[in-house]
């Protein structure tokens, strides 16, 4: 069982820089897992050098650009204003309100359960609606397999009219 706390914040637009792959939504979880496993020590060092986030040292997962062929771009990225190195990609996120879902629980199940809860249980009754922009997974340092591991999902929202 996971524990989720949701708060709404407004955040100015920002840019992420990192590694990008276009993944099928049907095999998304496997593709993301393979992507994280394939990160090299050099990749992680480059991401750490680029990272200008006040929100932590770990790279984040960013889902962006849903395509008609049922694929999406997935980034392992950090917030940065620095030049984008060769082999990396950048993505700009607009100013928006975010439903920040603070999660306590072991990964990967905690993130999957949180997404399910937000879209199936929380959003239908909330005073906010999904804006179909990029979504973010934020990771803390530590053992992701532990029941007390902290992570977040950031869902772009706006007040219902």
List, in order of start, the domains of the chain with CATH numbers: 3-159 (3.20.80.10)
Peptide bond into 9 cis (omega under 30): no
What does pLDDT average to over the chain? 93
Question: pTM for the complete prediction?
Answer: 0.90
Q: Answer whether residue 2 shows pLDDT above 80.
A: no
Give me the mean pLDDT over the 136-143 stretch. Answer: 93
Say if CB 156 and CB 146 are below 8 A apart: no
Note the pLDDT of residue 100: 96
Note the pLDDT of residue 74: 96
CA distances from 118 to 28, 114, 128, 153 (A): 18, 6, 11, 10
Give me the mean pLDDT over the 124-146 stretch. Answer: 93
Rounded distance between C-alpha atoms, residue 50 and residue 43, angstroms: 11
């Amino acid at each position: 069982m996971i524990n989720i706390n949701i708060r709404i914040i407004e955040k100015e637009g920002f840019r992420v820089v990192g590694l990008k792959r276009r993944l099928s939504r049907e095999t998304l979880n496997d593709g993301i897992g393979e992507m994280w496993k394939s990160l090299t020590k050099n990749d992680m060092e480059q991401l750490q050098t680029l990272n200008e986030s006040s929100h932590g040292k770990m790279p984040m997962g960013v889902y962006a650009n849903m395509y008609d062929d049922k694929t999406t771009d997935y980034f392992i990225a950090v917030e940065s204003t620095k030049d984008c190195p060769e082999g990396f990609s950048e993505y700009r996120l607009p100013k928006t309100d975010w439903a920040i879902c603070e999660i306590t629980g072991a990964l990967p199940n905690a993130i999957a359960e949180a997404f399910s809860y937000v879209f199936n249980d929380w959003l239908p009754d909330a005073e906010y609606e999904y804006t179909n922009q990029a979504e973010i997974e934020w990771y803390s340092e530590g053992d992701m397999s532990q029941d007390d591991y902290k992570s977040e999902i950031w869902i772009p929202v706006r007040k219902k009219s």
